[in-house]
Amino acid sequence: MVKQRITEVLRNGQPDESLVVQGWVRTKRELKGFAFIEVNDGSSLASLQVVINEDLPDYDSILKQINTGASVEIAGVLVASQGKGQRVELKANQVTVYGGADPDTYPLQKKRHSFEFLRSIGHLRSRTNSFGAVFRVRNACATAIHQFFQERGFLWIHTPIITANDCEGAGELFSVTSLDLKDVPRKETKAVDYSKDFFGKPTYLTVSGQLQAEVMATAFTNVYTFGPTFRAENSNTSRHLAEFWMVEPEMAFCDLKGDMDLAEAFLKHIFKYVMKTCAEDMEFFNQRIDNTVIATADNIINNEFERVTYTEAIKLLEKADVKFDYPVSWGLDLQSEHERYLAEHLFKKPTIVTNYPVQIKAFYMRLDDDEKTVAAMDILAPKIGEIIGGSQREERLEILERRILAQGMKPEDLWWYLDLRRFGTVPHAGFGLGFERLVQFMTGMGNIRDVIPFPRTPESAEF
């Protein structure tokens, strides 16, 4: 008999078909002379209804074992369903219970649990409807991302996870060391002697693959990375993780306009793909999590994003009739409240803000002619705020050296990065998409911890 995934059975199964399914019991209902169980194997939101008749050998003992959470294999014949809610159901001929689940101690009950509670049982939460839907959509987003770039001839490259460069010049790094923390080697000055460490110098978990992506873009023209990044930020927000995934395309022969056009086409493609392949899950989010997610997806697919310069955005914020916690003036690093005001309130769609003040952006962003701003662009999403951060990169050697010095960094430490400007330099641009922010935006999930299977946040790395 053929083994089938439940999504396949629900979509294409025909009455009289014999088949085998495997999965976990979601619910059991005992009636006179027979029982219904709902079996889910993670392939779809909907479960398969299985009918077990009392004439099945060992009926009573099987029924005792197939509680919520038990793993089962059912061989049977499909029949047209009498009840509403499903087209077909499986009439069991043989039931195998792999592992039972004691109803008194199994933490997942039929009732709705809070996401906070489910985080405390991170090893089981994927068996719920909500998390099943989240991780199928997450998978579809990842597939859409690769499809988008591969169709356009971008090379998928793999950038290092351990790095000696602090790309952003920020202090949010996790150190990587093989030194014995109980007996750290020190120089005469008492400073840690990193020459004794594994790499002979301080190293960190990467906060971004961008610098290495630039190396690869100056050989392959268009490349992207899709990998984990790490930030030891102590901000306990609903939009920050200590370990998150980032998608970073980098394009040679590309300016800020090309960068924005690509980012917009990219987001449109992902939303289209997910709406097509995860319609049932998206409908679920719309009904149960946030009743605007489908309208938002349609809005993204069908409308052009708003584009404003930072200077224009500041003027709009100064005119706003709301009181912000952080007062607005030119030079301010936009806070989440400002980002949301622009995208959610004012324009009601994704908003690209460009040409930020040079003081608040990273050293590698291309200096504009006025020398006050840089060719940066952030894409702000309603409800989330920043979802993409990108820029045209500084390709002029002298200016880049000047910017590195101005940030208190040493050009020698970035000699290989500067070499890209010495040999065959070219206008180039790229951006970083926070993958979990995208999944949040797509699904309407309020907390970023609920869109990654195993969230890493301050004081939390249990599972």
Question: In 3-state terms, what secondary structure has residue 374?
Answer: strand
Site for ligand ATP contains 444 (CB under 6 A): no
Taking the complex as a whole, the smallest distance from the CB of residue 49 to ligand ATP amounts, in Å, to: 39
Output the CA–CA distances (angstroms, integers) from residue 164 to 50, 71, 72, 201, 403, in the order listed.
Answer: 56, 47, 50, 8, 19
Token output for 160:
């290092």
User: Alpha-carbon distance 172 to 201, whole Å?
Assistant: 18
Candidates 184-192, 233-241, 252-260, 263-271 — which segment interacts with ligand ATP by CB under 6 A? 233-241
Binding span for ligand ATP by CB under 6 A among 4-12, 135-143, 288-296, 380-388? 380-388
Q: Where are the alpha helices (DSSP H) in 71-222?
A: 115-119, 129-151, 210-220
| Cα 274 from chain centroid (whole Å) | 13
387 part of the interface to ligand ATP, by CB under 6 A: yes
436 lies in the binding site for ligand ATP (CB under 6 A): yes
Q: Output phi, psi for 6, to 5 deg.
A: -65, -35
Residue nearest ligand ATP by beta-carbon distance = 434
Stretch that binds ligand ATP, among 16-24, 283-291, 381-389, 421-429 (CB under 6 A): 381-389
Burial 354-380 (b: 16+ CB within 10 A, else e): bbbbbeebbbbbbbbeeeebbbbbbbb
In angstroms, rounded to a whole number, what is the distance separating the alpha carbons of residues 177 and 306?
Answer: 45
6-65 residues near ligand ATP, rule: CB under 6 A: none
Binding part of the chain for ligand ATP, among 16-24, 104-112, 209-217, 429-437 by CB under 6 A, reads: 429-437
Choices 32-40, 218-226, 257-265, 430-438; region in contact with ligand ATP by CB under 6 A: 430-438
432 binds ligand ATP (CB under 6 A): yes
CA 74 – CA 88 distance, rounded (Å) = 15
Site residues (CB under 6 A) for ligand ATP, limited to 160-199: 168
Question: Residues 301-340: x/- map of binding to ligand ATP (CB under 6 A)?
Answer: ----------------------------------------
- Residue 241 lies near ligand ATP (rule: CB under 6 A): yes
Contact status: 437 vs ligand ATP (CB under 6 A): yes
What's the min distance (Å) between Cβ of 241 and ligand ATP? 4
Place of tokens 């045209």: 392
Q: Among 274, 343, 388, 429, which residue sits at the site for ligand ATP (rule: CB under 6 A)?
A: 388
Which residue blocks in 41-183 are alpha helix, DSSP H?
59-65, 115-119, 129-151
Q: Which of 389, 427, 430, 444 forms a contact with ligand ATP (CB under 6 A)?
A: 389
> Considering the complex, what minimum distance in angstroms separates the CB of residue 294 from ligand ATP?
22
95/439 with CB nearer ligand ATP: 439
Question: Do residues 240 and 460 lie in contact, with contact meaning Cβ atoms separated by under 8 Å?
Answer: no
In angstroms, the CA 234 to CA 458 distance is: 6
Query: Nearer to ligand ATP by C-beta: 6 or 256?
Result: 256
User: Quick one: which of 120, 81, 116, 95 has its CA closest to 39?
Assistant: 95
Please give the C-alpha separations between residue 221 and each of 148, 214, 418, in angstroms, as whole numbers: 16, 9, 18
In whole angstroms, how large is the CA radius of gyration of the chain? Answer: 27
Answer yes or no whether residue 250 interacts with ligand ATP by CB under 6 A: no
Q: What is the closest distance, in whole angstroms, from the C-beta atom of residue 236 to ligand ATP in the complex?
A: 11
Segment near ligand ATP (CB under 6 A); pick from 60-68, 157-165, 385-393, 400-408: 385-393
Residues 6+ apart with CB under 8 A from 84: none
Contact yes or no for 337/315 (Cβ under 8 A): no
SS3 content of the chain, % helix, strand, coil (to 5): 35, 25, 40
What is the pairing mode between strands 376-381 and 385-392?
antiparallel
209 touches ligand ATP (CB under 6 A): no
Per CB under 6 A, 430 contacts ligand ATP: no
Q: In what order do the strands lie in the sheet with 376-381?
A: 155-156, 222-230, 243-252, 428-434, 385-392, 376-381, 351-354, 306-309
The only residue of 136, 138, 240, 361 in contact with ligand ATP, by rule CB under 6 A: 240
Output 244 or 363, the one with its CB closest to ligand ATP. 244
Give yes or no for residue 233 binding ligand ATP (CB under 6 A): yes
Give the SS3 label for residue 155: strand
Q: Among the candidate windows 254-262, 294-302, 382-390, 402-410, which touches ligand ATP by CB under 6 A?
A: 382-390
Between 160 and 169, whose beta carbon lies closer to ligand ATP? 169
Q: Quick one: 262 or 387, whose CB is closer to ligand ATP?
A: 387
Select the span of 66-74, 105-113, 183-191, 387-395 touching ligand ATP (CB under 6 A).
Answer: 387-395
Widest distance between CA atoms in the chain: 85
Q: What residue ranges bind ligand ATP (CB under 6 A)? A: 168, 231, 233, 240-241, 244, 246, 386-389, 432, 434, 436-437, 448
